[in-house]
Amino acid sequence: GSAMAAVRAVEIDPEGTFKYILVRLQRPGGGEQRDIVRGTKAAEFHNHIFEKVNPEMEKLGYECKCLGGGKIEHNSKDKKIRVFGLSTGYGKADHSVTVEILKKEYTDYEITWSDDKK
């Protein structure tokens, strides 16, 4: 198994509405790559999330690129996740990609996305 597979595809807060980013991991010089989702209420701005993820991934030997951001509304009680909004700094992530990644992790959830700002 590759070390990249060991990196968790999704790390988001268990509840609430918060900023998220879509990050592409890549081995320097190309080769395998993988997209991961990171989001937390602790981040006031999208770049705060990236500034935390990037050094962690560099230690593992990956280059990181932020593919954009948005917001996630996580309702664990009703098992619903809504992906929406955008990042001013990074632009809008492809929320449909984010949803596919989330679906693998939250298999019994209803997961939707839109380009709504709120």
In a domain, 3, yes or no: no
Q: Does the annotation list 59 as a binding residue?
A: no
46 is catalytic: yes
* Boundaries of domain holding 44: 10-114
CATH number of the domain that residue 19 is part of: 3.50.20.20
Report whether pLDDT(2) > 70.
no
Q: How many domains does the chain have?
A: 1
The proportion of the chain whose per-residue pLDDT surpasses 90, expressed as a percent, equals: 88
In a domain, 4, yes or no: no
Report whether pLDDT(6) > 90.
no
Query: In the chain, which ranges are continuous DSSP H helix?
Result: 3-6, 46-59, 95-105
pLDDT confidence bin for 29, thresholds 50/70/90: confident
Q: Model-level pTM?
A: 0.94
In a domain, 96, yes or no: yes
Q: What is the mean pLDDT of residues 62-79?
A: 97
- The residue whose two tokens read 């593992």 is 60
The pLDDT mean for the chain works out to: 95
In a domain, 1, yes or no: no
For residue 72, give the nearest of 9, 114, 107 by alpha carbon: 114
